Chain A
Amino acid sequence: MVDRIRWRAGAGTALTAVLSMAALTACGSGDSGDDGTLTMVVWGGDVDKQTYQERVDLLEAENPDIKIDLQLIPSDQYEQKVQTMIAGGDGPDIMQVAENVNSYSSKNQLVPLDEYVESSGLDLEQRFGPVGDLYSYEDQTYAIPDRSGAMIVYYNKDLFDAAGVEYPTAEWTQEDAQAAMERLTIPGEQWGYGGAGWWAQWWSFAYQNGGQIVDDSGRPTVNSPEVVEALQWANDLTHVHHVVPTAAEYADMGPDMGGDPAFAAGKVAMNTTGFWAIGGLIESDVNWGIAPMWGGEQQAVSAFGSGLAVTRDAENPEQAFEAIDFLTDAPAQEIIIDNAQDVPANLEVQQSDAFLQPEWAPEGLNMGAFGESSEFIFRAPFIPEWNEMQATFDDNLGEFWNEGGDAQAELDEIQTQLESIIQ
């Protein structure tokens, strides 16, 4: 009997401990809504956390009536966590959005911001240039651009000098680029280019050819001659011209190998990617430079970025917009470049010395490449079915990228599938 009592007492103690601990954590953080604190969710890693927090701190210092609870969510789980929050009726007030923005706006989960934009006197065109209306859906604005930078060409100066090839410029054509890649390739050892297997890369070629992934009326057009030619070229660079490492060659170089780390290791002479590669390159021994993307029939390049949106669950959308307005204004945007996080969407900051000559940049780095590129950024189709569209490409092109093949056949199949996905 004594044993039993002791046993029960033990269980009781444990339960009490659970409850008290739970109570402790509940107090730990202010729940949004009740006290007017705005919940803001963003994704990313350490640099992102630090940068967003500094911007929020500045916002709170200048606007004492606004309180923001910033939550950084690991990128891989961002969509799932936000979806769970919203489905649970407990969505954030401000959320970061990107290519997938319209899966939220089309399902009525974001607040249209036009009337707030108007009453605040914010001129999107003036502040952000052509990307000002990037996040609009059915003629309504659902997010304000926050970070936005074109894809650029990274090149290894030493390898170019050794091969006697001129550095890349925006005036290059696809043929010029290929000729340079061929001269920069040493079979089995060094490759001219990092590859174009990612949507942002080969879609740029398609738009350079005058093609479109989804046309202006919203119909998929991925098997048009222009797109087929672009995809075939991107693939032939690997499997016909051998100026890009194959998937197998990449896998042998290291885990998760791709254009970015191979460029940092000096194995590929050119690589097309976003701003983020700079962070790793500053650490590396590579003597590198950047240039705007080459062109084709016309100039076109993709851009990466994200915006800030107000969700349906926001109790005070007006104040949430006020916060976004401040965060995308020059003083708060400068922090983005000071931390070498990304390209700020704010044009004024992009053209300022803070951006063109940042402290952390190596001597003579052509930061103007980003501004120059913004002239010819193409508008990627931010359809509500963005994720499904990407999965359709990935599912069908797996073997094609790894082993080579016929772009026309693949894109015909993808076209059929996209037609049933995109309504």
Chain B
Amino acid sequence: MSNVVDEAPGAAREPRRAGRRRTRLSRRGRKEAFYFWLFISPWLIGFVGFLLGPMVASVYISLTEWDSFTPPQWVGLDNYTRALTEDPVFWKSLWNTFYYALISVPLGLIVGVWLANLLNKRVRGRKLFRTLIYLPTLVPLVATAMVFKMVLAPSGPLNDLLGLFGLDGPEWLLSATWIKPALIVLSVWGAGAATVLLLSAMNGIPRELYEAAEIDGAGAWRQFWSVTFPQITPIIFFNLIMGLIGAFQIFSQVYILAPNNNVGGPDNASQMMVTLLFQEAFSFYHFGYASAIAWLLFIVILVFTVIAFRTARKWVFYETEVR
């Protein structure tokens, strides 16, 4: 009865189950397994060839003090204990990263699904609308930076807009309180990127399903929830996982928006995990410490991904129950 979702994240339970299954593999099963390994070999070769080595190296580096020039000094777990117990900036950047990821990812998904649903309707000029909504993804970062510094100025267009609703806009990038919301605004601006996949998934939904719903008297809203949404849950799930991994690794957005190229932002309010490790590695020459931060971040992301996979079986709908 297991489906894909069940199988993939259950790494912890896998050995037991796999072991049991292995003894039962039929000849056909062995053939299937052989083709599985054959077909994934491009990825496997690439992984072993290009990534495994550097990853193992970075684990080793995280256990040393290394300025990237002179030979590394073995320090054991010192870098990890320093990050967790001594470095207030580490905790601040961890909190900042959580703040950003846990708001921007759900928000981006909601906006993305909403826009995709609108674009999936029979509208004139659909190609143009789709292009415009995808446009932010295509604009080079340096241009994005210029634009957002203008838009987010204390008397800039965004605050003018808020003023129309009687709201007194904050100083966004200049304020320790508002720089993270400003980064979230930037991420929502790029939410249209998700529409590519969502639309492509919506396009694949058989028309018959809608016709059946129509017959049952369902309106647009109910058709969305009873047909569209369940059918695109695999892609929403994909966007959720990728969004989480991406948001926890937020880097260039901070780099371009932080005033005067000071990644920390006002009083480290926009210091994120990856900007911190980048600064430690390439500005301060503490490569060992930076690598330790990278692996701590890895653990954080891993935990959230596993949680996401665990909850997935409750809401992600697969057409095929993979055997």
Direct A–B contact in complex, judged by CB atoms less than 8 Å apart: yes
Mark A residues whose CB is within 8 Å of B. Answer: 76, 79-80, 83, 86-87, 103-104, 107-109, 247-248, 251-252, 254-256, 385, 387-388, 391, 394-396, 398-399, 402
Contact B69 A109 (CB under 8 A): yes
Contact A402 B174 (CB under 8 A): yes
Residue of B nearest to A251 (CB): B153
Inter-chain CA distance A104–B70, complex, in Å, is 10
CB of B67 within 8 A of chain A?
yes
Residue of B nearest to A100 (CB): B283
Question: Given that A255-B150, A256-B149 are known contacts, is A247 also in contact with B174, CB under 8 Å in the complex?
Answer: yes
Contact A251 B174 (CB under 8 A): yes
Q: Which of B1-9, B118-126, B263-271 has 4 or more CB atoms under 8 Å from chain A? A: B263-271
Number of A-B contacts (CB under 8 A): 83
Residue of A nearest to B279 (CB): A391
CB of B176 within 8 A of chain A?
yes
Residues from chain B with a CB closer than 8 A to the CB of A256 are 146, 149
Inter-chain CA distance A109–B68, complex, in Å, is 11
Contact A388 B284 (CB under 8 A): yes
Question: Given that A86-B69, A255-B149, A256-B146 are known contacts, is A395 also in contact with B264, CB under 8 Å in the complex?
Answer: yes
Inter-chain CA distance A251–B150, complex, in Å, is 8
Residue of B nearest to A108 (CB): B70
Question: Given that A80-B282, A248-B154, A256-B149 are known contacts, is A402 also in contact with B70, CB under 8 Å in the complex?
Answer: no
Residues from chain B with a CB closer than 8 A to the CB of A399 are 176, 266-267
Inter-chain CA distance A252–B156, complex, in Å, is 7
Contact A87 B285 (CB under 8 A): no
Mark out the residues of chain B between 228 and 275 whose CB falls within 8 Å of any chain A CB in the assembled complex.
259-262, 264-269, 271
Q: Map CB proximity to A onto B277-291 as digits: 1 under 8 Å, 0 otherwise.
A: 001001111000000
Residues from chain B with a CB closer than 8 A to the CB of A79 are 282-283
> Of B145, B155, B267, B269, which contacts A396 at CB under 8 A?
B267
Inter-chain CA distance A109–B89, complex, in Å, is 29
Q: How far is the CB of A401 from chain B (nearest CB, A)?
A: 9
The 6 A-B residue pairs with the shortest CB-CB distance, nearest first, are A398-B266, A255-B149, A394-B262, A248-B154, A251-B153, A87-B68
Contact A108 B69 (CB under 8 A): yes
Residues from chain A with a CB closer than 8 A to the CB of B68 are 83, 86-87
Residues from chain A with a CB closer than 8 A to the CB of B176 are 398-399
CB of B203 within 8 A of chain A?
no
CB of B81 within 8 A of chain A?
no
Residues from chain B with a CB closer than 8 A to the CB of A396 are 267
